[in-house]
């Protein structure tokens, strides 16, 4: 299983939100490029970079910071946050992103998935299913965010060519309470053949070991790394166990 460390950006700093709430933010570092380089040096094979300002505002607000991170490391980066149309996808890929992660855009326009997967292939586009009360939410998960019933949305996106899904239970994001296995398994069941990236709540080595044992191809972790629940080296070792 691929273990993907996350760098969430807010105002140029590395942060984590609790359950996606912008008024519950913890700052960890003011040099995201240095953080990315350390992740790569330790052995990460991919880094997850999120522009939280863009996710909330719907437009790239930290494009230079994101581009600096992507350029600073020799490992692929998947970029998320505020990528709302085909032009924004093209911009991120030209800037060096290996994958782009879209949520709001695919909730509003599921058929955009067909355009993107036909243009770039199924392995460069990831659908973010950020779920609260059975609804996949966009718009940075703000209180009045647009939503769509998650299972029907997953089916529509798969039919339009999406293979990769980053699935997050919002209630567990940044809470260090473990993944929502029921949600993850439900998406995998409703979309046979989907590559489900487990996100949200990964907080112990046991979580990583369990996700790997269940056959998930990848998992994203953030707060647990920054707060020392485990080291990246330990996490990578467990994720790679056979």
Q: Which pair of tokens denotes residue 16?
A: 């984590």
- Given its phi and psi angles, is residue 216 left (phi above 0), alpha (psi -120 to 50 degrees) or beta? beta
Catalytic residue among 130, 173, 180, 207: 130
- 130 in active site: yes
Q: Which residue has the tokens 């590559």?
A: 195
Mark whether 74 is an active-site residue. Answer: no
Contacts within 8 Å (CB) and 24+ apart, 149-156? 150/187, 151/186, 151/187, 151/190, 153/106, 153/107, 153/110, 153/129, 154/127, 154/129, 154/187, 154/190, 154/191, 154/194, 155/190, 155/191, 156/110
Q: Select which of 8, 51, 139, 207 is catalytic.
A: 8
The separation between the first and the last C-alpha atoms of the chain, rounded to the nearest angstrom, is 10
Residue 88: both structure tokens together: 């924004």
What amino acid positions are annotated as catalytic residues?
Answer: 8, 130
């Amino acid at each position: 299983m691929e273990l993907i460390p996350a760098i969430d950006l807010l105002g140029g700093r590395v942060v984590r939100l609790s359950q996606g709430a912008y008024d519950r933010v913890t700052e960890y570092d003011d040099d995201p490029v240095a953080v990315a380089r350390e992740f790569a040096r330790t052995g990460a094979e991919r880094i997850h970079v999120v522009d939280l300002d863009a996710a909330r505002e719907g437009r790239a607000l930290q494009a230079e910071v994101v581009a600096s991170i992507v350029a600073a490391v020799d490992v692929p980066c998947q970029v998320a946050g505020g990528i709302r149309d085909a032009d924004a996808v093209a911009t991120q890929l030209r800037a060096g992103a290996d994958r782009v992660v879209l949520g709001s855009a695919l909730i509003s326009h599921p058929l955009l998935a067909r355009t993107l997967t036909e243009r770039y292939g199924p392995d460069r586009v990831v659908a973010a299913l950020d779920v609260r009360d059975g609804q996949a939410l966009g718009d940075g998960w703000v209180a009045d965010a647009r939503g769509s019933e998650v299972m029907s949305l997953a089916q529509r996106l798969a039919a339009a060519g999406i293979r990769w899904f980053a699935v997050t239970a919002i209630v567990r994001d940044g809470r260090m309470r473990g993944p929502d296995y029921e949600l993850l398994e439900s998406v995998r069941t409703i979309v046979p053949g989907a590559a489900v990236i487990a996100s949200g709540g990964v907080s112990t080595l046991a979580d990583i070991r369990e996700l790997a044992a269940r056959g998930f191809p990848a998992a994203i972790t953030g707060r647990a790394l920054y707060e020392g629940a485990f080291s990246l080296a330990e996490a990578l070792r467990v994720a790679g166990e056979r």
